[in-house]
Structure 1
C-alpha cells in the first residue's frame, strides 16, 4: 500500500469502527482519561465559590499551566503512536492509527443519544427530559416537549462539529497529534469553559484559557460543518450568518443555525437565544431528519478529507 493512502484508509476505518462498534470501554477510552486529568486539575485550579473575592491572576495562570501540561501529554502520546505507525507495515499502520483515531470521533454515540431522546419522549415528557440530561448541561426540568426536541437537535448539530468534523479537520492538517489536541481542548472547554459557577467552583477566570483555545480551534471546522450541511441538503440556508451570530458562542451557532434553517424549525435555549424564530416548533420525526442530514455530512466529510490528503 502506498504510504500516502494510509491516512485516508485510517479515517475510513476509524469511522467504520465507530459506526459498527461505537465507543470503547471507559477504562480504555483516551477521552475519559483526558476528562479524569482535567477533573483533577480543575479542582486545584478553580477556587471554591466565595473563597477569595475577585481573584483573577492565580486561577487563570494555574488553569492555563495545567491545560498546557495535559496538552503536552496528549500530543506526546499521539505523536508516539504516529511514530510507531510510521515504522511498521502500511496495513498495520492503518490499523494502529485508525484504532487510535476512533476514540477521538463519536458519531454513532451522538446519533444514538439524540434519537434516544425522541424515543423517550414517546414514553413521557419526564423520560424525554431525563434522556436529554445525558446530552446537555442546561437545566431540563422545566422544558416543554418541543423545547426538549430543540435541545436534542441543537446538541446533534453542535456536536457534529465537535465530535466528528473538527477532529477529522485537524487530523487532515496535523495528523493524529492534531486530532488528539483538538479533542483535549474541546473536552477542557466542556469541563472548564464556564463563565461563572459550576459544581461549587468559580470558573470565571480558571476557564478562560480553555474556552478561548477551543474557540480558536473550532472556528474553521464549525463553518465547514455548516457548509457541509448545506451541501447535503442541496440548498443554501438563507440568513445563516445572521442567525449564527445570535448565540453567545462564536462557533456553535453556525451548525445549529444551519440545521434550524434547513429543517425549517425553531431552535433555542430559553432565555438566551432563538434561532430561526419564524420556523415551526420541532415535532416527532425532526430528530430523525436531523440525524439523516448529519449522517450524510459524515459520509461527505470522509470523501473530502480523502481528496484533500491525496491532493496535498
Structure 2
C-alpha cells in the first residue's frame, strides 16, 4: 500500500507553498509573526537572567539562562508539534498542506533578506552615510567606521550567513523533524542573536548567561552551514575549491559562519572581511556594486538547487517510515 504518498505529499506541498508565499507576499505583520513572539519572550526573560554588570565566573547566570532556554524551546517545539498533529490528523491532505505551509513560511525569510541586501547597495549609491544607515538594519557591528567597500562586504557577508540561518537551516530541520524542527531551529537562532554575546549588550552582561544559547545554535547550524556552502558551490558551477573553502571557513571565530561566507567570497572572487577579526579570500579583489547583485543571484540559485534535494529527502523519509 502506498500510504507513504500521503505522508510525503503534505510536507512537500507545504514546503513549496511556504516558498511561494515568501516570494510573493514576504513577511506577515509583526503582530502575527512567531519569530517576533519568540524575540519578545527572549527579551523579557533575558532581562531577568543576565546580570546588569560584568561578572567573573557566573554559574548561576549560566544555569538560569540554560534552564530558561530549555523551557522556552520545549514550549515552542511542543506547540509546533501540536499544530502539526492537528493539521495532519484533522484535515484533508490539501488542508493540512495549506496550514503547514502557512505556519512554515514565517520560519524562513528569503525575500526580506534579498530586499534588505539590495537596499544597502541602493543606499550606498546615494551616499556612504545612507549605506551605513541601511546596513545597520542587517548587522550588529558598528557601521560608523566602515568605508563604502566595507559596507558592501558586510552586506554580502550577511547575505551568505543568513542564507544558511534564514532559509537553508529552517528547511533542513523541517525536512528532518517537520514543523517542530523548523520552529525549534528558529527559536535557537533567535536566542543566539539576542543572548549569544561574549560581553555587554543591551545593558546586560552575556558572557555566561549567553553561553548555552550560542552553543545550541552552533550545534543546530553545523550541518546547514556546510550544506549552504555546498549549494553555493553548485550555484557557482564548481567554481569553489573545497580545500580553499576549508581554509577560509576556519578563519572566522564562528564554527559555522565561515562556510557560507567563505564560499560566497571564493565564488565571487572578492575579499570579505570584518575589520580586526577575519579576512576571507584575503587576496581577492575589493567588492564592487555589481558583486552585490551577483551574490544575490548566487543565493537564489542555491535555493533553487536546494528544493529538489529537500523534496527528494521528504519522499525518501516517507518511504522509509512506511516500511518500518
TM-score tier (shorter) = over 0.9
Identify the residue that residue 58 of structure 1 maps to in structure 2. 60
Which of 12, 15, 27 pairs up with 1:11? 15
User: 1:302 Cα shift?
Assistant: 1.4
Q: Secondary structure at the match of 1:2?
A: helix
Is 2:30 the counterpart of 1:20? no
Identify the residue that residue 79 of structure 1 maps to in structure 2. 81
Identify the residue that residue 277 of structure 1 maps to in structure 2. 282
Identify the residue that residue 176 of structure 1 maps to in structure 2. 179
Identify the residue that residue 321 of structure 2 maps to in structure 1. none
Counterparts of 1:170 and 1:6 in 2: how far apart (Å)? 16
Is 2:95 the counterpart of 1:123? no
Identify the residue that residue 261 of structure 1 maps to in structure 2. 266
Which of 217, 223, 227 pairs up with 2:226? 223
Q: CA RMSD in A?
A: 0.9
- Specify every segment of 5 or more residues in structure 1 that has no aligned partner in the other structure, as ranges: none
- Deviation readout 1:144-185 (Å, 9 max, x if unpaired): 000000000000000000000000000011000000000000
Which of 161, 164, 167 pairs up with 1:161? 164
Counterparts of 1:3 and 1:237 in 2: how far apart (Å)? 37
Counterparts of 2:6 and 2:212 in 1: how far apart (Å)? 41
Counterparts of 1:236 and 1:207 in 2: how far apart (Å)? 38
Q: Secondary structure at the match of 1:92?
A: helix
Q: Secondary structure at the match of 1:205?
A: coil
User: 1:277 Cα shift?
Assistant: 0.5
User: 1:140 Cα shift?
Assistant: 0.0
Is 2:157 the counterpart of 1:135? no
Q: Secondary structure at the match of 1:274?
A: strand
Which of 203, 208, 216 pairs up with 2:206? 203
- 1:3, 1:90 within 8 Å by CA — same for their partners in 2? no
- Deviation readout 1:105-124 (Å, 9 max, x if unpaired): 00000000000000001110
- Deviation readout 1:35-69 (Å, 9 max, x if unpaired): 0000001000110114xx31411110111111011
User: 1:2 Cα shift?
Assistant: 2.9
Identify the residue that residue 44 of structure 1 maps to in structure 2. 48
TM-score normalised over the length of structure 1 = 0.98
- Specify every segment of 5 or more residues in structure 2 that has no aligned partner in the other structure, as ranges: 318-324
User: 1:298 Cα shift?
Assistant: 1.1
Counterparts of 1:256 and 1:142 in 2: how far apart (Å)? 21
TM-score normalised over the length of structure 2 = 0.94
